Amino acid sequence: MPESGLGGRERRLCLLALVAVFSVVAMSSSLTWPILAESLRHQGYDETAIGLNAAAQFAGIMFVAGSATWVIPRLGFFRTVLVGLALVAAMLASLPAVRDYSLWFALRFVLGIGNSLLFTAGDTWINQIVENRVRGRWMGIYNTAGMAGWAAGPILGSQMDPNTYGPFLAGICGIAVALIVLLPTRRIDVRLRIGREARAPLVRLLAVFVVAPTVLLSSCLFGVVEGGIQSFAHLYTMDVLGADYRATGYAVIWVGAVGAIFFQYPVGWLADRIDRGWLLVACVATTTAAMAIFPWLLPGAAGPWWSPAALALWCVVVAWGGTMGATFTVGLTLLGERFRDVELVAANAVYSLLFGLGGLAGPFLAGVAMDRYGPPGFPVTLIAVAALYTLFAAWRQATRGRRMAGADAP
């Protein structure tokens, strides 16, 4: 039984509200990422400059991570999410009004702070109140809703002009919906006990990383891949196929997100029945293989969608998006299994911090690689990072029994 103090009805209300909020916030985020990248390209900036600008948003995520164990226990989950929604809405209103490259660094930094408050508090809140026997399934539902939001964003973005207010207004509307859905939870918020560990946040962050480095580093991989894909997948597609294939470029992001929608609950169900560590390894290994195949199949998108070449491409994109999203689901499930209370806040803070580091590195490395080596620099960067993590995760899981035996020895 979760140590939340909530009854069954209150717990379900919180869970369903968080699922809905995560969905609409994810939609707003996935809408703005490619729109901002495309807007900067229209202004004449190269991929390195676009990647650097995107990295500022992830820097905001990193900033929040260091203070999460102090902020969230004191504000409570509800007020932390409320502050995050307010910051995101304010930045979405400011970005199209300014359209200055230098100022966008500051605005996207604050946008990253808002997003990090939302996701760190939301991820911790749901993991704190759900029971472990169904944790994987609820994480699957939670991330299914989030991935549905990620899928909806690029659809909207492909129909909107990045140089207008339209995409940003759509994002603000999404934030307003999230606020309305969240309001019923204000009287049933879960407050965490503030112990000594909350006064030493950096020590606490280091301690949880030492306990679960493989799980936490999966978030870094997720940040690298997601940051790279959201910023450059559509540009890479247009570079390979031509500018006339703008809609196809957005479809690469969208189809990957659709794959993520359908993978989350089945993988969450599996996470409640098989070894979660090996399931994590299987997910990242499949992602790596799919990304390695993707460049060879991309020319198939130039033909009809029903042609064998095109169908093979979209199946690979579904597999890549689905297993990458499943990595996040399994990671959150493992965090909730291993940590509680303020330690769970710390673990989610490190999860966000490493996601921020990955997000800083992903767009920057992919952009630099594309500038230096041309379009192939985009997939090669992501494949290399994913392959390295896969090897590390498999090694850690294979040697886990020996490490545990050593820890139990006198």
Task: Indicate if the pLDDT at residue 202 is higher than 80.
Answer: no
For the stretch 39-76, pLDDT in tens is 888 888 887 788 788 878 878 877 887 778 788 888 88
**Taking residues 366-391, what's their average pLDDT?**
90
Give every CB contact of residue 205 below 8 A, 6+ residues apart in sequence: 65, 66, 69, 346, 349, 350, 353
User: Is residue 197 very low, low, confident or very high in pLDDT (cuts 50, 70, 90)?
Assistant: very low
CATH classification of the domain holding 263: 1.20.1250.20
Task: Indicate if the pLDDT at residue 409 is higher than 50.
Answer: no
Is 404 within a domain? no
Is 407 within a domain? no
Count other Cβ atoms within 10 Å, centred on residue 2: 16
Tokens read off for 119: 């996701």
Tokens read off for 98: 């300014």
User: Is residue 282 very low, low, confident or very high in pLDDT (cuts 50, 70, 90)?
Assistant: very high
Is 169 within a domain? yes
Closest CA to 22 of 140, 107, 101: 140
Closest CA to 18 of 145, 170, 187, 152: 145
Tokens read off for 163: 């140089």
* Rg (alpha carbons) of the chain, rounded to whole number: 20
Task: Indicate if the pLDDT at residue 281 is higher than 50.
Answer: yes
Domain count, the chain: 1
Tokens read off for 11: 């717990």
| CA–CA dist 84, 311 (Å, integer) | 40
DSSP 15-80: HHHHHHHHHHHHHHHHHHHHHHHHHHHHTT--HHHHHHHHHHHHHHHHHHHTTHHHHHHHHHHHHH
Contact predicate 21/174, CB 8 Å: no
**Taking residues 254-281, what's their average pLDDT?**
87
Is 201 within a domain? yes
For the stretch 77-128, pLDDT in tens is 888 989 999 999 999 999 888 888 889 999 999 998 998 888 888 888 888 8
Most confident of 68-82, 183-197, 234-248, 267-281: 267-281
Lowest mean pLDDT among 13-17, 196-200, 284-288, 298-302: 196-200
Task: Indicate if the pLDDT at residue 2 is higher than 60.
Answer: no
Lowest mean pLDDT among 273-277, 318-322, 351-355: 351-355
Is 111 within a domain? yes
User: Is residue 1 very low, low, confident or very high in pLDDT (cuts 50, 70, 90)?
Assistant: very low
Higher model confidence: residue 44 or residue 243? 44
Is 239 within a domain? yes
Higher model confidence: residue 390 or residue 303? 390
Phi-psi region of 100 (alpha: psi -120 to 50; beta: other; left: phi over 0): beta
Task: Indicate if the pLDDT at residue 383 is higher than 60.
Answer: yes
Task: Indicate if the pLDDT at residue 200 is higher than 60.
Answer: no
Is 165 within a domain? yes
Is 1 within a domain? no
Task: Indicate if the pLDDT at residue 378 is higher than 80.
Answer: yes
Q: What is the pLDDT of residue 191?
A: 66
| CA–CA dist 296, 292 (Å, integer) | 8
Contact predicate 49/101, CB 8 Å: yes
Percent of the chain whose predicted confidence (pLDDT) is above 70: 91
Closest CA to 355 of 220, 228, 235: 220
pLDDT mean across residues, the chain: 82
Most confident of 44-48, 74-78, 218-222, 304-308: 218-222
| CA–CA dist 44, 369 (Å, integer) | 18
| CA–CA dist 24, 44 (Å, integer) | 31
Place of tokens 């769970």: 344
Closest CA to 392 of 216, 274, 268, 272: 216
Structural domain containing residue 115: 8-189+197-399
